Amino acid sequence: MTEFDPDLGSLPVQEHDHDVLLIAGSRPEVARLAPVATAFADADRIRALTVATGPDPMSVHEAFEALGVPADVTQLLREPPSPQPAAVAAMLMTRLDELLVDLDPSAVMVYGGGMTPVVAAQVAFWRQIPVVHLQAGVATDDLLCPFPQEANRRVIGQLASLFLTTGGTALGSPIGPNTIPVGDTMASNPQPADLRFARLVRRVRSGGPRVVLVGLDRADSLGVLAGLPDLLDREPDIEIVLYGELAGHGVAYPLLENDRATVVRTLPLAELVGLIAASTVLVSDDPELVTDAPGLGTPAVLVDGPHIPHPGDSIRSIGSPAVMTTVRQLLRAAPVVPDVTPDGLEAARVEQAVAWMFGLCPSPLLTSPFPTNTEV
């Protein structure tokens, strides 16, 4: 893994008229953009380059690797990032601007409303590079909910040339001729290798059980572990997936005998991302994972964490004794999700829409699951 250096010639030879940078600054962004990179490669009419950046670029780089799409460019940090949002934005702005000058892409694509997407969109706009905005369709009419993603999403919406909705109503976004529904590209990621989880995700998508995903590693989280059997008794329509160091603790043994619980010591990142997205609630003592969960559409409970809540925040930092009460409240408040069965062509629709933007095909809507260079 090396950072892009124009003198090294490390990137693939350009054999296409157009190239798009898929810029990710977090694991949820990778989960939506990695399948898109594969779709571009399969269609072979536009070159897509994956960019791992953000406040923690190595975690983004590793997420691309875990999902089978190695990062083409990883922007290493020149110095430890400041925790202040303004400082992080300033660092990203400079680094991304340098990258766009070096590569001069035909367009950039960003997902959602995080810090990296809003900075990348602004820098691209200043360089007069078209912005393609892929978003989850969870936008609301409340500028502060979720905070700050909704405000960032609206800023990107004002700068984007092509707006791809992946679900929901996309309120606060510029609905118009360049707004195209594509579906949630998360569904185009590889299915979990573990058949237990692959079947569980399919059942959830078909209106099956609600899943409470629990990841516990610290000894002071044992109180949460002890409360899981009672949660299963009180909530007959849920299933629990427990993973982490505490999964091997004796307190977890009652779960091994319950057919609505699955207990594993480790989860590969690719499977973990898919399970978070399919879950109704995530409970974890890992602050980074809890921070990622809302971007995957899942409210999260941080056990005994230092998180400072913001308006509209979907992260809750709870002491161990109160976690189960909070989880039950979230289960009761969980919205009814429309039964939309993915067809696996979500990422291909993204590629089709971008090809249409460049004039490579007559329609932005995918009419064949196998777009080719011969489409005119």
DSSP 263-284: E-S---HHHHHHHHHH-SEEEE
pLDDT above 60 (res 325)? yes
Residues above pLDDT 90, as percent of the chain: 55
Range of 7-16, 224-233, 286-295 with top mean pLDDT: 224-233
Least confident of 110-124, 166-180, 207-221: 166-180
Instruction: Give 98's Cβ-side CA count (13 Å radius).
Output: 13
| pLDDT at residue 337, as a whole number | 56
- Quote the CA–CA distance of 354 and 46 in Å, as a whole number: 9
CA distances to 80, 153, 362 from 268, rounded to whole Å, are 27, 30, 41
Least confident of 267-271, 286-290, 326-330, 334-338: 334-338
Are 160 and 191 contacting, i.e. CB atoms less than 8 angstroms apart? no
Please classify residue 321 by burial: count the beta carbons closer than 10 Å to its beta carbon, then call 0-12 exposed, 13-18 middle and 19+ buried: exposed
- Give the pLDDT band (50/70/90) at residue 58: very high
Are 292 and 213 contacting, i.e. CB atoms less than 8 angstroms apart? no
How are beta strands 19-24 and 47-52 bridged, if at all?
parallel
Q: Which of 269, 183, 201 is nearest to 241 (CA)?
A: 201
- Give the pLDDT band (50/70/90) at residue 2: very low
Q: Which of 360, 19, 354 is nearest to 182 (CA)?
A: 354
- Quote the CA–CA distance of 116 and 314 in Å, as a whole number: 19
- Give the pLDDT band (50/70/90) at residue 228: very high
Between helix 269-278 and helix 57-66 the angle, nearest 10°, is 90
- Quote the CA–CA distance of 28 and 32 in Å, as a whole number: 7
Q: In what order do the strands lie in the sheet with 73-74?
A: 73-74, 47-52, 19-24, 107-111, 131-135, 162-165, 179-181
Domains and CATH numbers, the chain: 19-184+342-357 (3.40.50.2000), 195-333 (3.40.50.2000)
pTM given for the model: 0.84
pLDDT above 70 (res 156)? yes
Are 118 and 25 contacting, i.e. CB atoms less than 8 angstroms apart? no
Secondary structure (3-state) at 28: helix
| pLDDT at residue 349, as a whole number | 95
| pLDDT at residue 375, as a whole number | 42
Strands (E), 34-113: 47-52, 73-74, 107-111
The pair of structure tokens assigned to 355 is: 């090809």
Task: Give the mean model confidence (pLDDT) for residues 221-248.
Answer: 94
- Quote the CA–CA distance of 201 and 297 in Å, as a whole number: 15
- Give the pLDDT band (50/70/90) at residue 270: confident
Residue for token digits 């990710």? Answer: 24
| pLDDT at residue 344, as a whole number | 83
DSSP assignment letter at 257 = T
Are 22 and 95 contacting, i.e. CB atoms less than 8 angstroms apart? no
- Quote the CA–CA distance of 113 and 87 in Å, as a whole number: 18
pLDDT above 90 (res 359)? yes
DSSP assignment letter at 361 = S
- Quote the CA–CA distance of 210 and 355 in Å, as a whole number: 38
| pLDDT at residue 148, as a whole number | 81
- Quote the CA–CA distance of 270 and 66 in Å, as a whole number: 6
Sequence-ordered list of residues with C-beta below 8 angstroms from that of 13, at least 6 positions apart, any chain: none
Residues above pLDDT 70, as percent of the chain: 83
One-letter amino acid of 329: Q
Q: What tens digit of pLDDT does each residue of 183-227 get?
A: 889 888 877 788 899 999 989 988 889 999 999 999 888 999 999
- Give the pLDDT band (50/70/90) at residue 171: very low
Handedness of CA 300, 248, 61, 109 (dihedral sign): negative
Angle at CA of residue 148, ends 105 and 299, nearest 5° = 105
